[in-house]
Each structure stands twice: as structure tokens, then as C-alpha cells.
Amino acid sequence: MSRRSTSARGRQPSPGADRAALTALAPAFYRRPAEIVARDLLGRFLEREWRGQRLLARLVETEAYLGAADRASHAFAGRRTPRVASMYLAGGHAYVYFVYGMHWCLNVVTGNKGEAGAVLLRAAEVVAGESAVRRLRGEVGRRQRAHELLSGPARLCQGLAIDRELDGHAFGAPPLRLLAGDPATDAEVAIGARIGVAYAGEAAAWPLRFALAGHRSVSRPRPVAAG
């Protein structure tokens, strides 16, 4: 059961590419529409420093939230509450919120200050620090396969020790950075409707979910439409 089609998994970063891959994304990266940033984040690295350890993950699934015009967004109709305050920061900051009484979710704010665009980081694969991630994921993480550890927005936060303390953090600096990584090619990208937003009417069907096609760490159900 461990091996299936490996089509979209390839490309390990070569040793010589490490330096470029580990460069922090520049501010201009984030100052674009959420759907562009969401697509462009696939294959990038999320680096978390936690208790002296370096946890590194490659992003494989994201969702764009468009702000005031998007019924599924926490900033729909310009809503401003204490919880969503960090959504209105300039692109490149973190928006972290608590859901379902027990889970955290991590977003990357996009666009300019006041626009409230955001990208939900839904899934990643562990690149470094697996044993620490496994511990952070608790009893369940102890018995999961490596590719399941960060497969879901709340798993990603639990496995990388992300909670309210990082709400509003800028991604250019430790302890949480986004790095250039290993960007996905168009052929590797699958696009679909966002998860868990059935309440959002017409916006629920918008094609704003992006994933590496066929990657085992993408959460269910996997999007299939080609990008």
C-alpha cells in the first residue's frame, strides 16, 4: 500500500538549489490578488522555529479568500471584528483563527493593507523535523504515515505549533517564514471549489482551491480539475 503512482511528487531540491530555495519570499510576492498568491504558494516552504528546532514543510494545498466581495471570507462585506483584525494588515502577515472549539487555521494575508485578501494553508508535506512534528500531532501523529501529518488546515497548525501567538506575525522573519522553495509548474496544479463553505451561496463554487495534483498530502476530497 505504500507505493502508488508518483507522477506529481518528483523533484527533490538539489543540494545546489538549497540556498535559493531557502530564501524568504519578498514583500512583493504577497501584494497580489489572493488567488494568484494561493496558486504561487504551492511548492513553497513554510519554516517554523520551535523550541530550538527547525520544522520545514512544503505547501501542497491552499485556498484563496477574496475579502469583502467573498461570502466565504471572514471579511465579507467589510466585516471588522477583533478576531479578523489581522486580515486587514498588508500582504505578508499571518491571520490565525480558532474554529470548531479545538482547531487552529493559518492564513497568509495578501494584497494591500485594508483589502483583507487571504490564503488558507490547507496542507503540506514534512521536509525536515518530522519527529518533532509527530510529537506535536499527539497520539494520532504517532501512528500516522508521514504524508498525513500536515494533511489538513488544523493538522498543519497543530503539527507546526501554530496558534494565536502567531496571529499578525510577518512571514519574512522567524519563527515563522515562507521560503522560495520549489514552485509548482502549471501541469502539477489541480483546481477545485473550496472546502467547508457551503453556506457561502454562489461563492461556494468558485474555483479557489489549489493543490498539487495527486499528491498524497492533499486533504480529502482531492480536487481533480487541471490548472
Partner DNA sequence: CGGAAGATCCACT
Partner DNA sequence: GTGGATCTTCCGA
Interacting residues with DNA (CB under 7 A): 63, 65, 72-75, 79, 81-84, 87, 95, 97-103, 105, 107, 118, 120, 137, 139-140, 152-156, 194-197, 199, 219
Q: How far is the CB of 158 from DNA (least distance, A)?
A: 7
Q: How far is the CB of 127 from DNA (least distance, A)?
A: 19
Q: How far is the CB of 182 from DNA (least distance, A)?
A: 23
Which CB atom, from 21 or from 121, has the smaller least distance to DNA? 121
Which CB atom, from 183 or from 196, has the smaller least distance to DNA? 196
Q: How far is the CB of 43 from DNA (least distance, A)?
A: 20
Q: How far is the CB of 209 from DNA (least distance, A)?
A: 10
d(CA 225, CA 206): 13
Query: DSSP per residue over 7-51, as a string?
Result: TTT--PPPGGGHHHHTSBPPHHHHSS-HHHHHHHHTT-EEEEEET
Which CB atom, from 20 or from 99, has the smaller least distance to DNA? 99
Q: How far is the CB of 118 from DNA (least distance, A)?
A: 5
d(CA 213, CA 227): 9
Which of 196, 170, 161 lies closest to 24 in space, CA to CA? 170
Which CB atom, from 174 or from 201, has the smaller least distance to DNA? 201
Which CB atom, from 56 or from 86, has the smaller least distance to DNA? 86
Which CB atom, from 29 or from 95, has the smaller least distance to DNA? 95
